[in-house]
Chains A and B, each alone.
Chain A
Amino acid sequence: EAGVTQSPTHLIKTRGQQATLRCSPISGHTSVYWYQQALGLGLQFLLWYDEGEERNRGNFPPRFSGRQFPNYSSELNVNALELEDSALYLCASSFVGSGSTLGTDTQYFGPGTRLTVL
């Protein structure tokens, strides 16, 4: 069974540009989560999508946005890039079955996209 996949592996942008990161969840998973991990730091929660809707959002500015497609894949968009946006962006997926409390099922991570802003 294929795991969570992310593309691209690496992305280099300049300040002020926009970045688009993509994630495909494990087959059968309906929830996708995005995290930012700056060098040497822990995971900072960005966004959670389930069944095509944004369910929760971390403490990040509006220039961080995303969406989830009907096939449950997801995009993370970062507008007006700043130098401090340089980080590893991780996507995770989980299965949220009926009766489950949203957002607390075990998450499986992709390999990440390394974004560098120059």
Chain B
Amino acid sequence: TQLLEQSPQFLSIQEGENLTVYCNSSSVFSSLQWYRQEPGEGPVLLVTVVTGGEVKKLKRLTFQFGDARKDSSLHITAAQPGDTGLYLCAGAIEYSSASKIIFGSGTRLSIRP
């Protein structure tokens, strides 16, 4: 059974602080997506990473795909209240007989003003 573990599950920090959330698995992913979901809404795609070691930046958000394509991190610099939400990672696994995308359980982030 493939699992995608996200840590921490919950994080509450002060505005202006930096933070990193992690997405780990024993499976190798062909690609990995990060989403942010606000209460009562659907997840919104933030980024897709494909190449091992790849780093992508989206304003104050930095996404990194592990060299072995088994893990990923999301680093937020100078967090703002608007960053509050549920951050989900999703990994795509491709193999000969089947293929699928699995989602992590999410990191719930709260930024205090």
Contact = CB atoms under 8 A, between A and B. Distances in A.
Contacts, number: 58
B30 A4 contact: no
Interface string A101-118: 111101111111010000
A42 B42 contact: no
Interface stretch (B54-62, B63-71, B88-96): B88-96
B99 A109 contact: no
A21 B5 CA distance: 30
Contacts of B88: 42-43
Interface in B55-113: 88, 90, 92-94, 98-106
Nearest to A40: B108
A111 B42 CA distance: 4
Interface residues of B, number: 25
A56 interface: yes
A37 B35 CA distance: 14
A88 interface: yes
B41 A111 contact: yes
B51 interface: no
**Chain B interface, DSSP helix/strand/loop, else mixed:** strand
Interface residues of A, number: 23
A104 B93 CA distance: 7
B44 interface: yes
A4 B100 contact: no
A41 B9 CA distance: 10
Given A104-B93, A106-B48, A90 B105 contact: no
A112 B33 CA distance: 19
B45 A108 contact: yes
Contacts of B48: 106
